[in-house]
Structure 1
Amino acid sequence: MTGFIITWLVTTVSFLIIAKLPFLGIEVDSLAKAAISAIVFGILNAILLPILTFFTFPFIILTLGLFFFVLNSIIFGLSALIVPGFRLRYGFWSAMLGSIALAIINSILLRVVAPFT
């Protein structure tokens, strides 16, 4: 249970960090919106990613796994559509860059926090 809470908090901080990067075109209104965005992104990732992976498996094999970036961008964009205070200024490209930045920042922060759990 604490693992979920730590991952949620790290993802919330990651959303706040990527919202401060000006070239990504991602806007998050507040800490509460970032927390809600992290929850929605996690739920969509847990539910939709296996389904999308199943249906797009030939593309994943054909692109040697690079199509996962597109799948993560779709989930990132869907979470921006669901949460009112979370916006993508440049559409799909903001979702693509944002999902890559989220993965990088999440992995760095989780590596930093891991010894304390």
Structure 2
Amino acid sequence: MGSLLWLLQWPIRAAVLLLVAWLPLGVEVESFPIALLAAAVIGLLGTLLIWPLKLLFALPWAITSFGGLLTPISWIFNWVITVILFGLAAWLIRGFRLRNGLVSAILGAVVYAVLSTVILRILGLEVDYTRVGGLLTGSVAVG
């Protein structure tokens, strides 16, 4: 069921990206096919780069959050990673632009992540990130 959930999430995340582009945040998406591509690239980048980015930020995170004791600091680092992935996807895809640079990346990534989470949760299509990690490492059976 895990793979099917990802396929069901894909067009929903693309629609959310179009909604984010409709809002006055400085995010521009030319069309639904571009939004589909962008949603796939954001997901793929998240899958491929989440651990390297977490390793890159491990020392500053450990120092500023006292080893994870300060949860708000941990959330900030997770949002920084989300903004990086969102900005990188916009940089890679023609037709997906951040008109105001970093400000658009921050606003767009936060709104995209929140709306995606809420909508997918309402539809019962959210996937637990621990399960995703297990699928990637092969420690959880796909079914």
Q: Distance in 2 between matches of 1:14 and 1:41?
A: 13
Q: Which residue of 2 aligns with 1:7?
A: 9
Q: Is 1:60–1:68's contact at 8 Å kept on the other side of the alignment?
A: no
Return 5+ residue gaps in structure 2 as ranges: 66-72, 126-143
Q: Secondary structure at the match of 1:53?
A: helix
Alpha-carbon distance, 1:19 to partner: 0.4
Q: Which of 93, 96, 102 is the aligned partner of 2:103?
A: 93
Q: Which residue of 2 aligns with 1:17?
A: 19
Q: Secondary structure at the match of 2:97?
A: strand
Q: Which of 89, 94, 97 is the aligned partner of 1:79?
A: 89
1:69 aligns with 2:79: yes
The residue correspondences of 1:44-55 to structure 2 (distance < 5 A) are: 44-55=45-56
Q: Secondary structure at the match of 2:124?
A: helix
Q: Distance in 2 between matches of 1:60 and 1:7?
A: 30
Q: Secondary structure at the match of 1:87?
A: strand
Which structure has the greater CA radius of gyration?
A: 2
User: Which one is further off, 73-82 or 4-13?
Assistant: 4-13
Q: Which residue of 1 aligns with 2:114?
A: 104
Alpha-carbon distance, 1:7 to partner: 1.7
Structure 1 outlier segments of 4+, above 6 Å: none
Q: Aligned partner of 1:29: which letter?
A: E
Count of residue pairs brought into register by the alignment: 114
Q: Secondary structure at the match of 2:94?
A: coil
User: Which one is further off, 100-109 or 27-36?
Assistant: 100-109
